[in-house]
Amino acid sequence: MTDFTSEKQIITDLYRHLDTASPDTTEAVLKQFYGPNHIWRGFHPFDEIHGGTEVAERFWAPLKTAFTHLQRRQDVFMAGKNEMDGFASAWVVSMGHLMGLFDKPWLGIAPTGKMAFLRYCEFNKIENGQVTETAMYFDIPHLMMQAGLHPFPPQTAAHLVQPGPMTHDGLMLAPQPPETGEKTLATINAMITDLGQWNSGLSLEDELRRTWHEDMIWWGPAGVGATYTIPRYAKQHSGPFRAGFTNRSKTTHICRMAEGHFGGFFGWPNFTATPTGGFMGMPATDKPGEFRVIDIYRRDGDKLAENWIFIDLLHFWKQQGVDILARMAEEPRT
């Protein structure tokens, strides 16, 4: 067994204190758990933040003010060594939703007074008993759509409040057999190799079949949506994405890890690409753009079965000259 019990306990304790903190006490919680040179990476408009004080002031306190009775609903909780630094550092990953009553404005989005879900995934690096790096990625357009706004043209796949793993085994509180995680990581790496080619010589569907189950589920971000089975994924996202972009850079990750049947990665950015054929119903700009992405996977047997994706589309489109947040602040809710 590979035992990450101590690292997981640090994050469990952090969440226990943070989830029950008031807007005014989040700073004290973060300063207790974060190291002195902590780096926090979040989606636009937060971007890179240094230190618990600023993270509390800019992200957690406003969020907890806007969403009353905020609770964390985890679907995946895992830990592992980071392949990108030669398996030297340990990271703990949590994925799920933050759910609360949307009672006050947040980021210019008008409140609904109803339940709302903020999809999130968070990677935390643990060193000497403290959190030294965090990647906290979240789906703000998904929240906008719950609030009756329309940040993008109609998406190609389904808009859903997304469930966790079909197998309901993503909360890995106990140690997992290391060979299981090694197999998951190897499968993810094989998929990344195929994904980076865009010229395998196979049809897109047959290329996907090398590492994906036929009934795979791709839980994509709002603006693209969720899609089911290889043919529909090829039609509703992968095919249009490849057709819409050129000059895709090589993939770079800050962390890539796996535990049990789950694994994932994040980059800052993961890659760059130039929209030359239109994307998400928006016109081509011919301007290179960054893709900040978290992917979480579930392996079943020798292939990948489910994939949860977080893409900073607000950042990407801001680079293309479209400020989605500013535009939504002026849009009437339907």
pLDDT tens for each residue of 218-228: 999 999 999 99
- Burial status of residue 297 (CB atoms within 10 A of its CB: 0-12, 13-18, 19 or more): buried
Q: Are residues 225 and 300 in the same domain?
A: yes
The answer, yes or no, to whether residue 197 has pLDDT greater than 90, is: no
Q: Are residues 209 and 129 in the same domain?
A: no
> Tokens for 317?
């489109």
Domain boundary among 102, 129, 146: 146
Q: Are residues 189 and 74 in the same domain?
A: no
Residue type for 52, please? Answer: G
Q: What is the mean pLDDT of residues 45-69?
A: 98
pLDDT given for residue 1 in this prediction:
59
How many domains are contained in the chain? 2
Gap between the Cα atoms of 230 and 215, Å rounded: 6
Task: Give me the residues paired with residue 300 across strands.
Answer: 303
Query: pLDDT tens for residues 40-54?
Result: 999 999 999 999 999
Q: Are residues 136 and 191 in the same domain?
A: no
The helix/strand/coil state of 158 is strand
Tell me the C-alpha to C-alpha distance, in Å, between residue 243 and each of 104, 166, 246, 267, 321.
40, 31, 8, 23, 21
Gap between the Cα atoms of 149 and 230, Å rounded: 30
In CATH, what number is assigned to the domain containing residue 59? Answer: 3.10.450.50
Q: Are residues 193 and 283 in the same domain?
A: yes
Q: Are residues 111 and 186 in the same domain?
A: no
Gap between the Cα atoms of 295 and 317, Å rounded: 20
pLDDT given for residue 328 in this prediction:
82
Task: Give me the residues paired with residue 90 across strands.
Answer: 81, 126
Tell me the average pLDDT of the chain.
95
Ranking 16-30, 146-160, 289-303 by mean pLDDT, the lowest is 146-160
> Tokens for 122?
């968070």
pLDDT given for residue 196 in this prediction:
59
pLDDT band for position 76 (cuts 50, 70, 90): very high
Q: Are residues 118 and 251 in the same domain?
A: no
Output the DSSP codes for 188-214: HHHHHHHHTTS--SS-HHHHHHTTEEE
Q: Are residues 200 and 279 in the same domain?
A: yes
Residue with tokens 């719950």: 146
Range of the domain at 114: 5-146
Q: Is the Cβ–Cβ distance between 166 and 306 less than 8 Å?
A: yes
Q: Are residues 191 and 317 in the same domain?
A: yes
In a domain, 224, yes or no: yes
DSSP-assigned letter for residue 83: G
pLDDT given for residue 198 in this prediction:
60
Can you give the pTM of this predicted structure?
0.96
Query: pLDDT tens for residues 272-331?
Result: 999 998 888 888 899 999 999 999 999 999 999 999 999 999 999 999 999 999 988 776
Q: Are residues 96 and 206 in the same domain?
A: no
pLDDT given for residue 130 in this prediction:
98
Question: What percentage of the chain carries pLDDT values higher than 90?
Answer: 90
Neighbouring C-beta atoms of residue 127, cutoff 10 Å? 12
Residue with tokens 């010589």: 201
Compute, in degrees rounded to 10, the torsion defined by CA atoms 208, 211, 217, 221: -70
Q: Are residues 197 and 138 in the same domain?
A: no
Domain boundary among 129, 146, 163: 146
In a domain, 172, yes or no: no
In a domain, 117, yes or no: yes
Q: Is the Cβ–Cβ distance between 137 and 122 less than 8 Å?
A: yes
pLDDT band for position 78 (cuts 50, 70, 90): very high
Q: Is the Cβ–Cβ distance between 290 and 35 less than 8 Å?
A: no
The answer, yes or no, to whether residue 200 has pLDDT greater than 80, is: no
pLDDT band for position 195 (cuts 50, 70, 90): confident
Domain boundary among 124, 146, 168: 146
- Selection from 122, 93, 84 nearest residue 8 by Cα: 93
The answer, yes or no, to whether residue 201 has pLDDT greater than 80, is: no
133: left (phi over 0), alpha (psi -120 to 50) or beta: beta
In a domain, 170, yes or no: no
In a domain, 105, yes or no: yes
In a domain, 262, yes or no: yes
In a domain, 204, yes or no: yes
Q: Is the Cβ–Cβ distance between 95 and 307 less than 8 Å?
A: no
- Helix or strand holding residue 44 (H, E): none
In a domain, 99, yes or no: yes
> Tokens for 90?
């340990």
Q: Are residues 186 and 324 in the same domain?
A: yes
Q: What is the mean pLDDT of residues 159-183?
A: 96
